[in-house]
C-alpha cells in the first residue's frame, strides 16, 4: 500500500480548452469497480468514491454468484486489488457527492468527505485496535447478524485495507473518554482530530454506480421480520452461508442455533407489490433464492428448501438450466403461491406460513426458518446534487435506447441504480458507461495519467533458488479442512525453501505489502502461493512480485482450495496430506523457474465489427466517436439486422425510426467503413494485429488489418415449423407479424386473440429462455387492446418473465382485461382448425388442469430467439467457443460478460444470448469499451509463456512447423532450424510434445519443470 | 485399520494418480468441482499445463516409472480447444499410447484420456471417482514394486 | 551378381545419372564404405554384395554435401525406406539420391523375417520369397508376463547407446535416452528402465524395421521385437506405415483428424 502511496502524485493541470481526461465514478460496488478499471485502461485518471469505508459493494458480501456458484469474493477481490494497486485510480471512501457543476468535458465536483479517524497511509490493518476496542456493534458486513467492534477494518479484503471509526458509537466521541485504540496503535494511525472536509475535483465525465438499497421488510408487517427471530432477509442468509460469515457457513437459525431442516423462501418481498409502492420486479431474487437453496443444501445436505413464488424469472443466460437443475436434480421445491402471512409458534419459534396455492386454496405449512427474498430499491438521496432525473420508481432515469446515459450530458449511469439488475448486466453497463465517457473526453486521453514505475527487476540468474511459500487459510475455506500449520511445517523442510508462513487471506491488500516485505527480508527469488486457482489469482500475485522487484514468472501456485480443501471436506487428514503434496510439486517446479521476458507488439488502432445490426452499429459508432476507425462488415446487402423486423421496442419506442436514424449516423460517420454483402473468409493474426479476409457475393476480396474484433453477428428468430398450424393457416402468426398487422390500416378487428408463449423456448431442443417474448406479448396484448378495445386477449404462458420495470406492462395488461392462463409445463396448448375460427385447448393450471377451450380469430405465437447457424463456422476462425446451446460463450459469465478468452475479441448482442434491443445496445457499447482498451494502447505486452527453439538441439525436422495451430513457427532455411514468432505463439506447447529432441521448449512449462512435478509427486508420496 | 475389508481400503488409500489438466477446460472443470464442493477421492494430484497438446507421452511413461498407478490426461472437448487443435494431437497421441502401453505390459486402463469442459465440474468429479475405482481394482502398478525405495505402509 | 552391381555403378557414373556412387567395398577382409566419382575407380571391382548390412542411407545423408549432382547408393529395400523417412525428417533430398537396389539373399530375408527382400527395379533380378514374420515371444504373453519380459531384457542394458548410434533414423541432436530427468543419471541401470519404451514411442512412426539396432546391441535385448510390435500397432491404429512412400505423412506430424477423435470411453 505504501509503495503506491509514495508514488501517487498530485493531479497535473489539464490543458485548457480540451476536455478533462479524468472521470469520477460514484459508488465502489462491482459496477463502479469495472467502470474505473475500464476508464483507466482507456487512458483516463479516475476518482472512485464510496459512501462507506471500503469499496466492494453488495457483491463483496455475497457468498456465491449464480448461475455458476462461483465464490463471489474470490472473483471480486482480484479486481479490488487491481483498483487499489493502480496509480491512476484514487479511491475516496466515506465520501458523498455534494454538487456537480459545469458541463460535459469540464465538471467541477464537490465531495463531502467524512473523517475516518484513522490515517489510511499509516494504518497496516493489523487489528490490534479492534482487539482492544470496548464497544461492540452489529457488523454491517454481516448484514447486522454478527458482532464486531467499533474500530475495525470493514472486512478482510477491504480496499483500502485500513481501519475506521464510526463516531456515532465510539466511546471517545460519545462519552469523551476511552482512546484505547490510540494507546495500542503502534503505527500511530489514529487521529481523533480529523474533520469533515470538502474536496473539489475536476473531471470530464461522471459515472453513477451507487447500486441499490435492500428493501426493508418491516414495511410488510405480516411477515414478522424484526419480531420473529427466525424470519431473516436474503442478504442476512447470504452471510449465514458465507464461510467468512457470522456462523462460518453453518446453516443454523438465529433463535436457538439449531440446524435448519425446513427452509422457506418467500419471493417478491418488496417487489411486484403496489401496496408498498414497489410495483417493479427486482429481477434477481428468483435466481438468488435458487442459488441460496443450492448452497444451503451443499452446506447441509438435510436442508429442505422450498421457494414460494409467483413466477420463476430465470430469464438470463443459462438461468433456465440452473433453475431446472435445482428443481429436478437438487431437490429444491418450488411452490407457486402467494404467502399472505407468517405466524410463530411461541415455544419452538417455528414458523407457520400461510399461502394461497395454485388452485386458490389457503394452505398452512410449518418451517424452521423463513428467508424473505427482499427486493432492490434505489439508494436514498440518489440524486442530490447530481443534477440528474429519476424515473417513476425512484431509480435513475436514462435514455430509452442508451440505458447507460442519464438525463444529463456527461453523466452516465450503470448497475442497479438505474434498474434492478444482476452482476453481469451491471458489469456490462459499467463498461458501456465508460465507453460513453470516453466518447466525450477522448481528446483528453492520456493527459492526466501517471505511469506505474516498477522497481528494477532483480537479476536472479546464478542465485541458488530461495523459494518463499505462503499457505493461505482463505478464512475457513482452506483452514477449516486442511491443517495449515502442518503444511507450513512441511513446506519448511523442502529443498530450496527459504521461508514459509501461513496467512488468513493471501489475496488481501495488506498481504501484498507483507509479501513484498518478506521477499526483501529473506532475499527470496521464487514465490509459491498455496491458495486457490491460478486461473483467477495468479495475476494478482504476479503483480505483487513485480512490485517486489522480481520477474513475475518466478511464481508458482498450488491450488489447495478448489482442488483440495473444497473437494475433500470430509477427509481433513487426506486433504492435509494432499495439500502437502501439491505444495511440494509447486516448490519443486518453482526451483526450476527462470525469469521470462515479455514481448511487445504494436497495435493497429482500428477495429473490425462483424455484423451490421443494432449491436454492431452501436459498437462501431461508439468506437468511431472515441476516435478509432472501424470496419463494419455485414453479410446482408443492407444494415439493420434482425431489428428490421421489429416495430415497437419493449419500452414502446418506434424501432424503425430508431434504426433509420442509427443507419444514418453510421453512414455519415467518416471513421466507419461499411462492407455490405461481405462474408468473413479467414481471420489471422492476434490481438493488436489481426488480418481478416472478407469476400463479397461476386468473389471480390478485401484484406482488413485491425487491432480488435467485435463479434455482433446476432441471432435469429425461431421458425415455428408447423407448430400450431403456423404456415398452414394465415390466422396463426408471430408476435412480429402481429405488430405489422397492428400498424396496417383497415385490418379486420379480431374478436379474440390468443397468444402462446415459449414457442421454441424452454423445451428439450431449446432449453433456454428467450428472455424477450413475455414482455413482447404483454406489450402487444396492450397494443391489441388499444387498437381493438372489444377484442378478448388471452396469453397462455408458463411463467411471465417481465423483469425489472417491464412488470409495469404486465400489471397494466391485467388492468386492461388481458386474460393470462398458465399451462402446466408438460402440456402445451393444442389448436384445432374449426373453419370459421381456430379453437385453442389449454389445460388451465389455476383450474386444477381442467381443459379450457378458447376461440381465436388470431393465434399469436411468441417465438424464441435462436443462435445463428453460422456460429459454428465463425467460432473456429475467431478461436472462440460456443456454449451447449450454440450461442457464443464469453470469457467469464459474471465479470467478463463481453470478453472472449481470446485476447482482442469481444462479443455483444444476440450472438451472446437472447436479449432486448436496449440490452443489445448496452452490450455493444460495452464491447466497444473493451475493444477500446486494446486500441488505446500504443503497444501490447505479449505473454512470456511462449515456445522457444534451442537452435543447437534442433535437428530441423520441421515437424513443429506443421503442427503449430497458429502458424507461429517458421523454418529458417539458412540455419536449418525452426523459429518461433512470439507474437503469434499462444504457448499451447503442441510443438514441444512433438519434438523428440526436446529442442522446442515451452517457457514456464518446460520439460524438466513438468518432470520435476511428477518426481515431486512421487517423492511426496514416498515420504 | 486392518479390519474386514481393510485390505481393500489400504489398497485404495495407497493408490497414486496423476492428472494432467489443461488450463482452459479441465483445470477449470476441476475448479468448478471445487466451487461446487463435489467430493471425490483424494488420491489424485494434478499438473496444470496450458494445453494437453503440450503433454508428451514421456510424461506418462515417466509417471509410471515414478510409481504412479494411473495417469489421467484431460483436456477440452474436440472443437473447444483454446488453441484450436492442440487437443487433436492429444487425441492421436494418447489413444495410441493407451494401446502401446499394452505392448510394454502396462494395462491400458491405467491411462485415461477424457474431455472435461470448464462447465463440467460434475463430470470431473465423476471421472476421478470412476478412475480411482478402476485403479484400485487393478491394484498398484507393478512398476512401483520395482523401485528400490518401495513405499510400504 | 557382383558384376551386375559393378556394372550398374559404372553405368550410373558414365551416363551422368550420378555424380558419385556410395557402396560397401570389401578391402583386405574388411567392409568399408566407399564414395567413388570415377567409373574407372578400381574399388568398384570390390563392391560387396553379401549378407552384411550397413545403413547406406545414413551415410548418403552424410556424404551428400560433398557430392555434385546426384548420389547413387547401392542399397537394399530397407535403404529405400530409410531414405523416404530421412526425407520426411528434412535430412535427405530425394531429388539428389538414386538407389541402385540389390535384392537380399533368401537366407538374409529369412533371418530378418523380411516381407520385402527385393527393392523395386533392382540392378539384378533374383528369386527371393518374402520371409515368414519373426517370432515375437511377448505377443502371446499376458500383460504382467509381458512387463516382466521387457523389464528383464531392459535391465541388461548397459547404456552404450549402440542402438541409437546405429539407427539411421535417429536424427535428434539431443537424445531422450540421455536426458537425466527422464532416464536418470546416478543409478545404473535405472530402477525402472523405461527409456527403451520412450525410444520405441519416438520411433513408432519412423522405424522401418531394418533391425540394425538389434545387431548393434551387445546385451542381446530383443529391440527389433519391441519396435516391430509398436510400429505394427501404429499401422493398425492409424493405417500408416513408415518408409513405404515419401509422400504420405505420419498422423503425428500434422494437425487435424486422423484417428477417431471423438469416440473413446
Residue B1: per-residue pLDDT:
34
Distances (CA, A) of C55 to A343, C164, C166: 95, 12, 8
Domain A717-866, CATH number (from 3.40.50.300, 3.50.50.60, 3.30.230.10, 3.20.20.70): 3.50.50.60
Model confidence over A574-629: pLDDT tens digits?
999 999 999 999 999 999 999 998 888 899 999 999 999 999 999 999 999 999 99
- Please give, rounded to a whole number of angstroms, the shortest distance from the CA of B8 to a CA of chain C: 21
CA dist., res. A546 & res. A537, Å (int): 15
Contact B64 C264 (CB under 8 A): no
Q: What does each C-alpha distance from A606 to A628, A672, A911, C181, C237 come to in angstroms?
A: 6, 10, 22, 48, 48
Mutate to test the interface with A, among C173, C185, C191, C252 (most CBs of A within 10 A): C173
pLDDT at B83: 81
Mutual angle of helices C56-63 and C77-88, in 10-degree steps = 50
Decide if B64 and C230 are in contact by the 8 Å CB cutoff: no
Cα separation, A681 vs A679, in Å, equals 6
CATH class of A467-594: alpha beta
pLDDT at A49: 97
Residue % of chain A over a pLDDT of 70: 98
Q: What number does CATH give the domain A213-377?
A: 3.50.50.60
Q: CA-to-CA distance for B73 and A539, rounded, in angstroms?
A: 26
Confidence of residue B12 (pLDDT cuts 50, 70, 90): low
Q: How confident is the model at residue A380 (pLDDT cuts 50, 70, 90)?
A: confident
Tell me which chain B residues have a C-beta less than 8 angstroms from the C-beta of A570. Answer: 39
pLDDT band at A3 (very low <50, low <70, confident <90, very high): very low
Tell which CATH architecture fits domain A946-1002.
2-Layer Sandwich (3.30)
Cβ <8 Å between B61 and C262: no
Q: Given this model, what pLDDT does residue A135 score?
A: 96
The answer to whether the Cβ–Cβ distance between B97 and C201 falls below 8 Å is: yes
A993 interfacial to chain C (CB closer than 8 Å): no
Q: State the smallest CA–CA distance between residue B92 and chain C in angstroms.
A: 6
| Cβ contact C91–A994 (<8 Å) | no
| C53-63: pLDDT as tens digits | 878 877 888 88
Residue carrying the nine cell digits 465502489: A28
Q: Closest Cα of chain A to B126: distance in Å? A: 12
pLDDT at A188: 87
The whole-number average pLDDT for the span A919-946 is 93
Overall average pLDDT of the C229-252 stretch: 93
Residues of A in contact with B33 (CB under 8 A): 562, 567
Residues of A in contact with B22 (CB under 8 A): none
Please indicate if any CB of chain B lies within 8 Å of the CB of A72. Answer: no
Contacts of A866 (CB under 8 A, 6+ apart): A715, A716, A717, A718, A760, A766, A886
Task: Give the whole-angstrom CA distance, residue B59 versus residue A1011.
Answer: 7
All structural domains of chain C, each given as residue ranges with its CATH number in brackets, are 2-112 (no CATH), 137-247 (1.10.1060)
What pLDDT, on a 0 to 100 scale, did the predictor assign at position C184?
A: 64
Whole-number pLDDT of residue C190: 60
Quick check: C82 and C104 in contact, CB under 8 A? Answer: no
pLDDT over 70 at C26, yes or no: yes
The model's pLDDT over B20-60, given as tens digits with 9 standing for 90+, comes to 999 988 998 898 888 778 899 999 999 999 999 999 999 99
Nearest Cα of chain B lies from the Cα of C115 at a distance, in angstroms, of 22
Over residues A303-328, mean pLDDT: 96
Q: Do A962 and C253 touch (CB under 8 A)?
A: yes
pLDDT above 80: residue A346: yes
Confidence of residue A299 (pLDDT cuts 50, 70, 90): confident
Q: In this model, does residue B2 exceed pLDDT 60?
A: no
Distance CA B30, CA B38 (A): 10
CATH 3.40.50 placement within chain A: 467-594
Chain C segment 129-188 residues within 8 A of B by beta carbon are 138, 141, 143-151, 176, 182, 187
> C110 pLDDT band (50/70/90 cuts)?
very high
> Strand A45-49 to strand A89-92: parallel, antiparallel, or no bridges (unpaired)?
parallel
Interface confidence, given as ipTM, is 0.92
The structural domains of chain B, ordered by start, are 6-142 (3.40.50)
Would you state the torsion angle of the CA atoms of residues A566, A567, A572, A577, taken in this order, to the nearest 10 degrees?
-110
Averaged pLDDT score across all residues of chain A: 92
Residues of B numbered 2-31 whose beta carbons fall under 8 angstroms of chain C's beta carbons: which are they? none
Return the residue of C nearest to A977 by Cα: C90
Chain A contact present for C252, CB below 8 A: yes
The pLDDT value given to residue B147? 42
Of C191, C252, C258, the CB nearest to B146: C191
SS3 for A66?
coil
- What are the start and end residues of each CATH 3.50.50.60 domain in chain A? 20-113+197-212+381-457, 213-377, 602-714+899-935, 717-866
Question: Is A996 within 8 Å of C172 when comparing Cβ atoms?
Answer: yes
Asked if A955 reaches chain B (Cβ–Cβ under 8 Å), the answer is: no
* pLDDT beyond 80 at A19: yes
CATH number for the domain running over A20-113+197-212+381-457:
3.50.50.60
Question: What kind of fold does domain A602-714+899-935 have according to CATH?
Answer: FAD/NAD(P)-binding domain (3.50.50)
Q: What's the CATH architecture for A115-195? A: 2-Layer Sandwich (3.30)
Q: Which chains touch A (3 or more CB pairs under 8 A)?
A: B, C
Nearest to C233 among B61, B93, B103 (CB): B103
Reply yes or no on whether the pLDDT at A4 is more than 70.
no
pLDDT at position A687, please?
Answer: 87
Q: Give residue C71's pLDDT.
A: 95
The whole-number average pLDDT for the span A729-746 is 92
B68 grid coordinates: 504412479
Inter-chain contact C181–A1011, Cβ cutoff 8 Å?
yes
**How close does chain B come to C265, measured CA to CA in Å?**
8
Among the partner-chain residues B58, B63, B84, the one whose CB lies closest to the CB of A965 is B84
Q: Is C255 on the interface with A (CB under 8 A)?
A: yes
Q: How far is A575 from chain B (nearest CA, A)?
A: 7
CB contact under 8 A, B100 and C252: no
The reply to whether A1002 touches chain B by the CB within 8 Å rule is yes
More confident residue, A125 or A978: A978
Q: A617 with A666: CB under 8 angstroms? A: yes
Interface test with C, best of B68, B71, B103 (most C CBs within 10 A): B103
pLDDT in tens, A776-795: 999 999 999 999 999 999 99
Confidence category of residue A712, pLDDT binned at 50, 70, 90: very high
Which position has the higher pLDDT, A473 or B10? A473
- Distance CA(A942)–CA(A926), nearest Å, equals 24
Mean pLDDT of A670-692: 94
> Average pLDDT, stretch A280-287?
97
Percent of chain A with pLDDT over 90: 78
How far is the alpha carbon of B35 from chain A, nearest alpha carbon, in Å?
A: 6
Q: Is the pLDDT of residue C81 over 60?
A: yes
Cell numbers found for residue A626 = 472515441
Q: Is the pLDDT of residue A663 over 60?
A: yes
Query: If you measure CA to CA, which chain B residue comes closest to C190?
Result: B147
Q: Once rounded to an integer, what is the mean pLDDT over residues B14-19?
A: 93
Tens digits of residue pLDDT in B85-96: 888 999 999 999
Whether the per-residue pLDDT at A161 is higher than 50: the answer is yes
> What are the residue ranges of CATH 3.30.70.20 in chain A?
115-195, 946-1002
pLDDT of B68 higher than 90? yes
B113 contacts chain C (CB < 8 A): yes
Confidence of residue C187 (pLDDT cuts 50, 70, 90): low
Q: Is A967 on the interface with C (CB under 8 A)?
A: no
pLDDT at A127 over 80: no
**Is residue C250 within 8 angstroms of chain B, CB to CB?**
no
Tell me the nearest-neighbour CA distance from A699 into chain C, angstroms: 28
Q: How far is A538 from chain B (nearest CA, A)?
A: 12
Chain C nearest C-alpha distance from A975 (Å)? 13
| B contacts of A1002 (beta carbons < 8 Å) | 50, 54
Contacts of A559 in chain B (CB under 8 A): 31, 46, 48
With contact defined as 3+ CB pairs under 8 Å, the chains touching C are A, B
Quick one: pLDDT at residue C27?
Answer: 87
Q: List Cα–Cα distances, A422 to A59, A71, C134, in angstroms.
A: 10, 15, 71
Q: Span A190-206, mean pLDDT?
A: 96
- Predicted TM-score (pTM) of this structure: 0.74
* Residue B146 confidence (pLDDT): 58
> How far is Cα A282 from Cα A395, in angstroms, rounded to an integer?
12
The minimal CB distance from C182 to the residues A953, A997, A1011 is found for A1011
Q: Which residue of B72, B84, B125, B143 is the best one to mutate when testing the A interface, meaning the one whose CB has the most A CBs within 10 A? A: B84
> A41 pLDDT exceeds 60?
yes
Quickly state the pLDDT bin for C183 (edges 50, 70, 90): low
Q: Contact B49/A1011, CB-based, under 8 Å?
A: no
What is the average per-residue pLDDT within A865-885?
Answer: 90
- Cross-chain CB nearest to B107 (options C143, C150, C237): C143
Mutation target for A interface from C181, C182, C190: give the one with most A CBs within 10 A: C181
Sign of CA dihedral C222, C224, C227, C232: negative
Question: Which chains contact B through at least 3 pairs of Cβ atoms less than 8 Å apart?
Answer: A, C
Length of chain B counted residue by residue: 153
pLDDT, mean over chain C? 87
pLDDT band of residue A141 (cuts 50, 70, 90) is very high
- Among candidates A945, A871, A118, which has minimal Cα distance to B23? A945
Amino acid at each position: 500500500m505504501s509503495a503506491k502511496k509514495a508514488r501517487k502524485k498530485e493531479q497535473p493541470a489539464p490543458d485548457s480548452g480540451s476536455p478533462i481526461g479524468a472521470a469520477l465514478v460514484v459508488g465502489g460496488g462491482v459496477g463502479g469497480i469495472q467502470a474505473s478499471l475500464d476508464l483507466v485502461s482507456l487512458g483516463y485518471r479516475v476518482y472512485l468514491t464510496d459512501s462507506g469505508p471500503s469499496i466492494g459493494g453488495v457483491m463483496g458480501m455475497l457468498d456465491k454468484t449464480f448461475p455458476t456458484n462461483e465464490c463471489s469474493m474470490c472473483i471480486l477481490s482480484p479486481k479490488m486489488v487491481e483498483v487499489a494497486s493502480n496509480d491512476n485510480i484514487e479511491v475516496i471512501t466515506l465520501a458523498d457527492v455534494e454538487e456537480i457543476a459545469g458541463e460535459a468535458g469540464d465538471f467541477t465536483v464537490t465531495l463531502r468527505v467524512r473523517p475516518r479517524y484513522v490515517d489510511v497511509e499509516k494504518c497496516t490493518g493489523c487489528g490490534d485496535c479492534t482487539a482492544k476496542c470496548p464497544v461492540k456493534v452489529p457488523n454491517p458486513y454481516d448484514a447486522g447478524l454478527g458482532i464486531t467492534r467499533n474500530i475495525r477494518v470493514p472486512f478482510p479484503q477491504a480496499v483500502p485495507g485500513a481501519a475506521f471509526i464510526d463516531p456515532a458509537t465510539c466511546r471517545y466521541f460519545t462519552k469523551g473518554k476511552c482512546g484505547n485504540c490510540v494507546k495500542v496503535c503502534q503505527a500511530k494511525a489514529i487521529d481523533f482530530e480529523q474533520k469533515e472536509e470538502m474536496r473539489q475535483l475536476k473531471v470530464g465525465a461522471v459515472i453513477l454506480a451507487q447500486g441499490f438499497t435492500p428493501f426493508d421488510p418491516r414495511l410488510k408487517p405480516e411477515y414478522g421480520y424484526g419480531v420473529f427471530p427466525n424470519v431473516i432477509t436474503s442478504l442476512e442468509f447470504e452471510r449465514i452461508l458465507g464461510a467468512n460469515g457470522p456462523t462460518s457457513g453453518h446453516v443454523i437459525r438465529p433463535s436457538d442455533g439449531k440446524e435448519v431442516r425446513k427452509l422457506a423462501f418467500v419471493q417478491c418481498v418488496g417487489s411486484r407489490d403496489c401496496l408498498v409502492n414497489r410495483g417493479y420486479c427486482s429481477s434477481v431474487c428468483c435466481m438468488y433464492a435458487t442459488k441460496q437453496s443450492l448452497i444451503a443444501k451443499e452446506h447441509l445436505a438435510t436442508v429442505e428448501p422450498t421457494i414460494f413464488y409467483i413466477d420463476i424469472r430465470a430469464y438470463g443466460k443459462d438461468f433456465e438450466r440452473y433453475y431446472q437443475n435445482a428443481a429436478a436434480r437438487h431437490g429444491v421445491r418450488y411452490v407457486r403461491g402467494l404467502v399472505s402471512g407468517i405466524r410463530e409458534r411461541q415455544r419452538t419459534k417455528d414458523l407457520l406460513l400461510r399461502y394461497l396455492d395454485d388452485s386458490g386454496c389457503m394452505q398452512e405449512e410449518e418451517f424452521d426458518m423463513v428467508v424473505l427474498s427482499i427486493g432492490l430499491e434505489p439508494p436514498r438521496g440518489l440524486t442530490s446534487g447530481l443534477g440528474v432525473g429519476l424515473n417513476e420508481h425512484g431509480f435513475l432515469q436514462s435514455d430509452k435506447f442508451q440505458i447507460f446515459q442519464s438525463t444529463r450530458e456527461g453523466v452516465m449511469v450503470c448497475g442497479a441504480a438505474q434498474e434492478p439488475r444482476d452482476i453481469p448486466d451491471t458489469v456490462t453497463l459499467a463498461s458501456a458507461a465508460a465507453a460513453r465517457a470516453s466518447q466525450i473526453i477522448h481528446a483528453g486521453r492520456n493527459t492526466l495519467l501517471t505511469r506505474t514505475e516498477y522497481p528494477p527487476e532483480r537479476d536472479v540468474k546464478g542465485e541458488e533458488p530461495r523459494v518463499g511459500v505462503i499457505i493461505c487459510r482463505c478464512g475457513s475455506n482452506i483452514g477449516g479442512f486442511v491443517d495449515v500449520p502442518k503444511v507450513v511445517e512441511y513446506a519448511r523442510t523442502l529443498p530450496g525453501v527459504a521461508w514459509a508462513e501461513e496467512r488468513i487471506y493471501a489475496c488481501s491488500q495488506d498481504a501484498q505489502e507483507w509479501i513484498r516485505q518478506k521477499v526483501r527480508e529473506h532475499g527470496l527469488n521464487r514465490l509459491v502461493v498455496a491458495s486457490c486457482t491460478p486461473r483467477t489469482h495468479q495475476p494478482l500475485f504476479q503483480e505483487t512480485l513485480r512490485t517486489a522487484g522480481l520477474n513475475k514468472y518466478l511464481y508458482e501456485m498450488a491450488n489447495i482450495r478448489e482442488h483440495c480443501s473444497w473437494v475433500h471436506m470430509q477427509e481433513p487428514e487426506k486433504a492435509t496430506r494432499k495439500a502437502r503434496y501439491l505444495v511440494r510439486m509447486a516448490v519443486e517446479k518453482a526451483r526450476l523457474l527462470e525469469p521470462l521476458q515479455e514481448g511487445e507488439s504494436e497495435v493497429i488502432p482500428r477495429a473490425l465489427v462483424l455484423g451490421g445490426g443494432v449491436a454492431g452499429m452501436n459498437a462501431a459508432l461508439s468506437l468511431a466517436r472515441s476516435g478509432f476507425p472501424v470496419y463494419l462488415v455485414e453479410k446482408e446487402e443492407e444494415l439493420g439486422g434482425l431489428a428490421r423486423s421489429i416495430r415497437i421496442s419493449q419500452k414502446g419506442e418506434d424501432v424503425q425510426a430508431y434504426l433509420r436514424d442509427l443507419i444514418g449516423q453510421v453512414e455519415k460517420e467518416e471513421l466507419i467503413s461499411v462492407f455490405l454483402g461481405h462474408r468473413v473468409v479467414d481471420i489471422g493474426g492476434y490481438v493488436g494485429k489481426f488480418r481478416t479476409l472478407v469476400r463479397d457475393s461476386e468473389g471480390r476480396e478485401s484484406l482488413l488489418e485491425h487491432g480488435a474484433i467485435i463479434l455482433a453477428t446476432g441471432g435469429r428468430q425461431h421458425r415455428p415449423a408447423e407448430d400450431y398450424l403456423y404456415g398452414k393457416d394465415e390466422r396463426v402468426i408471430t408476435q412480429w407479424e402481429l405488430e405489422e398487422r397492428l400498424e396496417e390500416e383497415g385490418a379486420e378487428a379480431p374478436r379474440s386473440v390468443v397468444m402462446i408463449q415459449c414457442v421454441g423456448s424452454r423445451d428439450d431442443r431449446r432449453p433456454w429462455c428467450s428472455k424477450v417474448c413475455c414482455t413482447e406479448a404483454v406489450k402487444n396484448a396492450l397494443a391489441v387492446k388499444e387498437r381493438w378495445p372489444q377484442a378478448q386477449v388471452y396469453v397462455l404462458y408458463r411463467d411471465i418473465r417481465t423483469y425489472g420495470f417491464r412488470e409495469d406492462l404486465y400489471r397494466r395488461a391485467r388492468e386492461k382485461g388481458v386474460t393470462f392462463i398458465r399451462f402446466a409445463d408438460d402440456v402445451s396448448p393444442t389448436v384445432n382448425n374449426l373453419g370459421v375460427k381456430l379453437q385453442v385447448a389449454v389445460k388451465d393450471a389455476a383450474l386444477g388442469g381442467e381443459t379450457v377451450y378458447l376461440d381465436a380469430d388470431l393465434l399469436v405465437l411468441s417465438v424464441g430467439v435462436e443462435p445463428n447457424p453460422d456460429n459454428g463456422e465463425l467460432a473456429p476462425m475467431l478461436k472462440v467457443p460456443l456454449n451447449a446451446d450454440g450461442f457464443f460463450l464469453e470469457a467469464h459469465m459474471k465479470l467478463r460478460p463481453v470478453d472472449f478468452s481470446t485476447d482482442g475479441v469481444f462479443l455483444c448482442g444476440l450472438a451472446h444470448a437472447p436479449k432486448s434491443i436496449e440490452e443489445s445496445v448496452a452490450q455493444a457499447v460495452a464491447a466497444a469499451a473493451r475493444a477500446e482498451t486494446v486500441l488505446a494502447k500504443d503497444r501490447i505486452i505479449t505473454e512470456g509463456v511462449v515456445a522457444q527453439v534451442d537452435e543447437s538441439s534442433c535437428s530441423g525436422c520441421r515437424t513443429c512447423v506443421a503442427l503449430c495451430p497458429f502458424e507461429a513457427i517458421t523454418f529458417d532455411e539458412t540455419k536449418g532450424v525452426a523459429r518461433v514468432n512470439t507474437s503469434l505463439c499462444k504457448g499451447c506447447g503442441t510443438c514441444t510434445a512433438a519434438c523428440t529432441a526436446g529442442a522446442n521448449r515451452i517457457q514456464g512449462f518446460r520439460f524438466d519443470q513438468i518432470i520435476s512435478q511428477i518426481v515431486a509427486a512421487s517423492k511426496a508420496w514416498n515420504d | 485399520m486392518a479390519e474386514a475389508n481393510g485390505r481393500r481400503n489400504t489398497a485404495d488409500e495407497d493408490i497414486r494418480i496423476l492428472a494432467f489438466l489443461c488450463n482452459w477446460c479441465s483445470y477449470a472443470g476441476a475448479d468448478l468441482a471445487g466451487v461446487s464442493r463435489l467430493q471425490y477421492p483424494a488420491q489424485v494430484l494434478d499438473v496444470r499445463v496450458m494445453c494437453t497438446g503440450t503433454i508428451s507421452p514421456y510424461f506418462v511413461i515417466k509417471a509410471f516409472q515414478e510409481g504412479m498407478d494411473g495417469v489421467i490426461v484431460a483436456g477440452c472437448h474436440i472443437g473447444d480447444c483454446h488453441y484450436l487443435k492442440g487437443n487433436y494431437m492429444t487425441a492421436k497421441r494418447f489413444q495410441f499410447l493407451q494401446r502401446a502401453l499394452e505392448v510394454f505390459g502396462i494395462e491400458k486402463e491405467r491411462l485415461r484420456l477424457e474431455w472435461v469442459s470448464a462447465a463440467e465440474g460434475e463430470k470431473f468429479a465423476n471421472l476421478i471417482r470412476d478412475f480411482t475405482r478402476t485403479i484400485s481394482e487393478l491394484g498398484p502398478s507393478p512398476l512401483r514394486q520395482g523401485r528400490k525405495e518401495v513405499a510400504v505402509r | 551378381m557382383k558384376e551386375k552391381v559393378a556394372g550398374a555403378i559404372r553405368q550410373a557414373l558414365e551416363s551422368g545419372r550420378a555424380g558419385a556412387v556410395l557402396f560397401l567395398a570389401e578391402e583386405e577382409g574388411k567392409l568399408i564404405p566407399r564414395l567413388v566419382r570415377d567409373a574407372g575407380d578400381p574399388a568398384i571391382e570390390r563392391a560387396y554384395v553379401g549378407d552384411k548390412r550397413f545403413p547406406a542411407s545414413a551415410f548418403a545423408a552424410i556424404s551428400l554435401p560433398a557430392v555434385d549432382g546426384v548420389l547413387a547408393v547401392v542399397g537394399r529395400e530397407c535403404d529405400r525406406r530409410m531414405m523416404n523417412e530421412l526425407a520426411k525428417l528434412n535430412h535427405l533430398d530425394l531429388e539428389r539420391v538414386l538407389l541402385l537396389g540389390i535384392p537380399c539373399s533368401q537366407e538374409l530375408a529369412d533371418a530378418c523375417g523380411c516381407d520385402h527382400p527385393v527393392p523395386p527395379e533392382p540392378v539384378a533380378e533374383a528369386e527371393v520369397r518374402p520371409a515368414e514374420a519373426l517370432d515375437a515371444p511377448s505377443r502371446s504373453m499376458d500383460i504382467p508376463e509381458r512387463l516382466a519380459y521387457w523389464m528383464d531384457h531392459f535391465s541388461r542394458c548397459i547404456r552404450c547407446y549402440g542402438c541409437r548410434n546405429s539407427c539411421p533414423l535417429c536424427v535428434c541432436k539431443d537424445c531422450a535416452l540421455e536426458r537425466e530427468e527422464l532416464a536418470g543419471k546416478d543409478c545404473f541401470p535405472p530402477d525402472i528402465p523405461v527409456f527403451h519404451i520412450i525410444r520405441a514411442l519416438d520411433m513408432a512412426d519412423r522405424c522401418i524395421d531394418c533391425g540394425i539396432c538389434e545387431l548393434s546391441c551387445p546385451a542381446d535385448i530383443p529391440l527389433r521385437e519391441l519396435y516391430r510390435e509398436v510400429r505394427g500397432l501404429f499401422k493398425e491404429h492409424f493405417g500408416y506405415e513408415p518408409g513405404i512412400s515419401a509422400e504420405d505423412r505420419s498422423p503425428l506430424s500434422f494437425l487435424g483428424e486422423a484417428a477417431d477423435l471423438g469416440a473413446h470411453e
